[in-house]
Amino acid sequence: MKAFFIERNFLILLSGVFINGIGGGVYAVSGMLLVLHLSGSVLYSGFAFFAVSLANAMGFLVAPLANYFKYKNGLVICGFLKAALLFTIPLCYITVGLNVYYVIFLLFTISLLSQFTYPIESTILPIIVGKDNIIQANSYLQTVREAMDVVFVAGAGILVAFIGSVQAILITAICMLLSALAYTLFNFQQPEESKDKQSVGNVLDVYKSDLKAGIGYIRYSLIPKMIVSIIFINLAMGVMTTNLPAFALIKGGSEATYGFYMAALSLGIMIGTIMTSKIKEIGFGRLTIISFSGTGVLWMGTALLPVIPSLILFCLGAISIGIINILIFSAVQQQVETLFIGRVITVLSSAASIGIPFGALAGGVIGETFTPVVPVFICGIAMCVFSFSWLSSSVLRKLPKIDEAKLFPAKQVEEV
């Protein structure tokens, strides 16, 4: 067992991830089903997913604000805020009633708050475990996340079918509250640079400087060569994910089936996460091309086959996502200095997710006009096109194994 695994702060972070895994699994299913039930339309599911993904794309504007807070305080305060917002859903339900637009607004706000905390979690991990243990620590955390999702996302569909979406969201609110309380126990050493930010007089100028620094790191990297194809694939993912609740109801006939599809997605990502350490020696370009072309074929089968084989293929297709996510973010955490990790990850994630909001709107229209099966099939085709685009680029195709792929060349911070 790695020494960092029994370190106090890592165990606290792991506990928070575990608790959030319970709440997040329930929330992932109940939130979208609540919108579908309140509106009765796939189009409104598109609006909801547009709101959530728009918040993700706006993350690069929010993340630099984390530099003006102690990391621990940022995690705790945002945890309490998210819990308080979620508690208003059952409160409105039993008093004045729920409006679909209010629910969509809450989904947007909570997702925006997550853009503040996500880079903090990514930043404190190297502080807690050391940069030499990043890949192993990420694998532990991501495995826990996905294992929790497999269990609780699948269970959430059944839970919603029995107790309803609103009551299930109450469980998520309680979990958010408990994880915030767990994070109050952190005692890691915070870098002095982040503390100094709070004493700068012109906050706006420093904020702009931080934002420019994150964008500068992206500019001096291989990411711009990848970003167009990643935006394209996320556009297709937005088209599919918007229709997944209605698609699951067509395939299985109940809310529980949506939970099973979400669990299949999480299980596939978890398998990919576990496999990462075994296959990281394969060239990153070749690995991406092979894995995503396979995902495309499998997800086209997901759209066309009955529910049981459809779930199996959906799970297998998600393996590539788990592999690529761990490799890319581990490379960022290893190659970027601590002060810039949060900003770089957020700018990268935000740029990559630009296509999702527009895919969500397009998916709502396509699903409403035709059938939710069509967008899932389109996403499978897009995966194959994505793979072909990497195959066509000599730079991306020839990328070496991730430990040798210099995604972020060592540039002086002064240049940024």
pLDDT in tens, 359-394: 988 999 998 889 999 999 999 999 999 899 889 888
Which pLDDT value is given to residue 416?
Answer: 41
Question: pLDDT grade, residue 206 (50/70/90)?
Answer: low
pLDDT in tens, 160-191: 888 888 999 999 999 999 999 999 998 877 65
d(CA 18, CA 175): 10
Closest residue by Cα to residue 100 from 161, 166, 163: 166
d(CA 329, CA 189): 23
Which pLDDT value is given to residue 114?
Answer: 82
Q: What angle do CA 252, 253, 257 make, to 5 degrees?
A: 50
Instruction: Assign residue 7 a region (left: φ > 0; alpha: ψ between -120 and 50; beta: otherwise).
Output: beta
Residues 65-84, mean pLDDT to the nearest whole number: 85
Q: Could you write out the three-class secondary structure of 214-280?
A: HHHHHHCCCHHHHHHHHHHHHHHHHHHHHHHHHHHHHHHCCHHHHHHHHHHHHHHHHHHHHHHHHHC
What ranges in 280-397 are assigned the alpha helix state H?
A: 284-304, 307-317, 319-335, 338-352, 355-369, 373-392, 394-397
Paired tokens of 392: 């066509």
First vs last C-alpha separation in the chain: 39
> Could you identify the residue written with the tokens 């969500």?
360
pLDDT in tens, 237-287: 889 988 999 999 899 878 789 888 988 888 898 888 888 878 888 888 899
d(CA 124, CA 117): 11
> Could you identify the residue written with the tokens 């007089």?
201
**Could you say which DSSP state residue 408 is in?**
S
Which pLDDT value is given to residue 240?
Answer: 93
How large a percentage of the chain has pLDDT more than 90? Answer: 28
CB atoms within 10 A of CB 1: 5
Segment among 117-131, 171-185, 311-325 with least mean pLDDT:
117-131
CATH assignment of 3-397? Answer: 1.20.1250.20
d(CA 391, CA 90): 50
- Rounded alpha-carbon distances, angstroms, from residue 343 to 62, 70, 218, 234: 10, 15, 10, 21
Q: Where are the domains of the chain?
A: 3-397
Question: pLDDT grade, residue 198 (50/70/90)?
Answer: very low
Which pLDDT value is given to residue 400?
Answer: 85
273 close to 139: Cβ distance less than 8 angstroms: yes
Question: pLDDT grade, residue 200 (50/70/90)?
Answer: very low
Sequence letter at residue 285: G
Which pLDDT value is given to residue 363?
Answer: 92
The whole-model pTM stands at 0.74
90 close to 198: Cβ distance less than 8 angstroms: no
Sequence letter at residue 387: S
